[in-house]
Amino acid sequence: MARLLQSFVEPPRRCSYLGDRLASLEYRVLVDVREAELDTLLEHGWRRFGPGYFRPACSPCAECISIRLPVAEFEPSKTQRRIIRAGSRFRAEVGPVQVDPTRLALYASWHAGRERTRNWEPSPLDEDDYARQFGFPHPCAREIAYYDDHPPGAPAGAGAAAPPRLVGVGLCDETDRAWSAIYFFYDPAYARYSPGVLHVLTLADHVRQQGKRHLYLGFRIEGCASMRYKALFRPHELLVGRPALDETPCWRRPAALDDAVPP
**Domains along the chain?**
3-258 (3.40.630.30)
Burial status of residue 258 (CB atoms within 10 A of its CB: 0-12, 13-18, 19 or more): exposed
Query: What pLDDT score was predicted for residue 157?
Result: 54
State which amino acid sits at residue 58.
Answer: C
Query: What pLDDT score was predicted for residue 190?
Result: 97
**pLDDT band with cut points at 50, 70 and 90 for residue 262:** very low
**pLDDT band with cut points at 50, 70 and 90 for residue 152:** confident
Q: What is the pTM of this model?
A: 0.92
Give how far the C-alpha of residue 116 lies from the chain's centroid of Cα atoms, to the nearest Å: 22
Q: What is the dihedral of CA 207, 130, 14, 239, to 10 degrees?
A: 20
Q: What is the largest CA-CA distance in the chain?
A: 63
d(CA 89, CA 253): 33
**How do residues 28-80 score in pLDDT, each as one tens digit?**
999 999 999 999 999 999 999 999 999 999 988 889 999 999 999 999 999 99
d(CA 42, CA 79): 29
How many other C-beta atoms can be found within 10 angstroms of the C-beta atom of residue 30? Answer: 20
**pLDDT band with cut points at 50, 70 and 90 for residue 12:** very high
When mean pLDDT is compared across 57-66, 116-125, 233-242, the lowest value belongs to 116-125
- Does residue 260 carry a pLDDT above 70? no
